[in-house]
Structures are given as structure tokens and as C-alpha cells.
Structure 1
């Protein structure tokens, strides 16, 4: 096995998602993930503490990108405009591999209560990162929390739309920002 071959982390994620979708999360072992990815078991553990964390790969990077985008929004931007800037910046983390594995990842998460719980925790962490970035911009906490929840919902809806789209040309950002715009319009009826 090629221990030092580039792309091991990404191959591990793809292998795990494939195996989780094929045989279920509980039935999949770390050894099987490593074998499918073409790396050793110890290489797996250099990248991830356990198999559950494979699907959380990039969570801190994603939160950081969101915060960067929010911080870089124009000074007079509304909270939701700043969230849109965060969505656009976070979209840098989503490429063809993400789109390709999205259906299998959704199937794997749907088949495991443990993975559903982990997915919910990821959303909470993302909401905290967005809210914190907004508060740092001077947004009042209740408004920041509401805008963060809308941002997470737009992220979720945008990701689902992007992953299911037949055209491969439109980027994730366009789907996420469109979802946020739809949510923004929906709030006028509250």
C-alpha cells in the first residue's frame, strides 16, 4: 500500500462513504476503509481518530471559511448579506468530489442514527461559527443566532439542490445563496 501517496485523506473519505452506502456504517471497519483507499490502517488513524469522523472531514475548515466570508462582507452589510458572503466563501470547499459522493453520503447518513446525530452536531457547530462571526461584526446576539440558523438551513438546502442538479456547471454558491434568498423572502410572511 502506498503510505505517502498524495490524496490519502480524500481517498479515505470517498472509500468510507462508498462502504457506508454499500454495507452500512455499523458493518464497515476501519481496515476495510483503509484497504479500499489503498492505504494502511495507521494512515487512516493519522487522518481520523475513528470512522465516524471521516464524514466530518473539513468541518473546521468550513466553519473558518464561513467566518472569513462574513468578516470580509462590506461594513454596512445586513446580517443576511454577511451570511451570503459566508456562503460564497464556504463554497470554495466544494468541488467535483463533493458533488460526486453527495448521494452516497446522504444514503449513508440516512441509514445510521449515529451518523444522523453527527450530522446534527455538524450543523450546530456551523451555526455557532456563523453566529460568532456575526456577533464579532457587531450584530446583536438574537439577530446573529437567527441569521446563523437561516444560513445553516440555506447551506443544507443549497447543498441538496447542488448535489441533485443535472448541470455540473453551476457552483455550490449559487444554490446556497438562492436558498438564502428564498428563506429571506419567506420571512416577510412571518
Structure 2
């Protein structure tokens, strides 16, 4: 190998270890290890080794091993964008429905159905992860509330619409991740929103 080739290899090596799709690689590695060894018995070092990345790369994207499973704020960003870009005349729940459609296109695609079911199983098996999932839900509700308020929706109406949207999301996600389901998440979310609104009318 020439000196020039060696120099290029040294330059490309570290880049290849952390640049391309690092968060996704860390997520896949972490989920595999959590399934194999349990969340409590898995370390950050083991996750980075499985992903072929470095410890510094891990902490560039996540605060701790728990955060690997929770998207680093990506879902909040998609929700806010979805509500912000909903048609100007959309009612609050229609704006929320638009946001859930964005989530479906960008995050809950059919090729991620099995992966999402595995992630849910890992979270359900660990109290610390269940607590973090609950906190994430509160954060997503706050994101939707804030985005609706930016559209001029009154505070209480925005909060109610966000809570109903979160409930519809939860129902739709449970149906979507099922192995027998082949429906798009966006369609399931719209169905769930319709059912939630109908249930509210009966209260």
C-alpha cells in the first residue's frame, strides 16, 4: 500500500465509523442487545461496539442508553411540522390528523412495523423504560398543544385536541404494529381519531 493510499485509509476510517446514519445504527445495536441481554445488563460501550462506532459518537447523539430508544426529539419535530403545515382552515383535530399522516410517512413505514413491535416489547419489559415512554408521551402532547396554539387555537381547545390526538396515536400504533395488520399508520390514525371523537360525543 502506498503512502498516499495509507493516508486516505486513515482519513476515511474514522469517518466511516461515525458519520453515516449513526443514530440508526446505534438504535439497531441497542435493541438487539436489550433483547439478548436485557436493558439493565447492556452498557453503552457494548452498544457502540455492536454498532461499530465510538463512545464519543454515542454521546454526540444520545444522553444515555435509555435515550437510544426514544428518537432524540425526532417525533416532536415531525409533529410540530405536521401541524404547522396543515391547511390554513383546518380544525384543530384535522391539523393533528395531518401531523399523524406526516408521522406515518416519515417514521411508521411498513418496513419498520416489526422493528417497532420489538422496541415496544423491550420497553414493556422494563419499568425505567416504561417511565421514559410516559414522559415522552407528555412531551409529544405539549408539542402538539404548542403547535396548535401557534395556529391561533385557544389554550384549552389546543390541550384537548392534543390529548385526543395522543390517544388516537396510541390506539393506531397498537393496531399498526400488530403482525396481522397491513394498514398504513396514517389511515389507522384517522380511523382512531374518528372513533375517539364519536366516543367523546357519547360522554
User: What TM-score does the superposition give when structure 1 sets the normalisation length?
Assistant: 0.89
In 1, Cα distance between the equivalents of 2:141 and 2:116?
A: 21
In the alignment, structure 1 segments of 5+ residues that lack a partner are none
1:115 aligns with 2:129: yes
TM superposition shift of 1:29: 0.8
Corresponding residue of 2:77: 64
> How many residue pairs were aligned?
188
What value does the CA root-mean-square deviation take over the aligned residues? 1.9
In 1, Cα distance between the equivalents of 2:168 and 2:23?
A: 27
Corresponding residue of 2:152: 138
Q: Within 5 A, what are the aligned runs for 1:50-89?
A: 50-58=64-72, 60-89=73-102
TM superposition shift of 1:19: 1.7
Distance 1:29 1:96, change over 3 A: farther
* Larger Cα-atom Rg: 2
Contact 1:154 1:183 in 2 (8 A): yes
SS in 1 for 2:81: helix
SS in 2 for 1:127: helix
Distance 1:183 1:164, change over 3 A: same
User: What TM-score does the superposition give when structure 2 sets the normalisation length?
Assistant: 0.84
In 1, Cα distance between the equivalents of 2:113 and 2:194?
A: 22
Q: Deviations over 1:64-115 (max 9, x none)?
A: 2212222222233221111111111222223355323222211211121111
Corresponding residue of 1:187: 200
Corresponding residue of 1:13: 27
| More moved, 126-135 vs 8-17 | 8-17
| More moved, 100-109 vs 1-10 | 1-10
In 2, Cα distance between the equivalents of 1:47 and 1:64?
A: 16
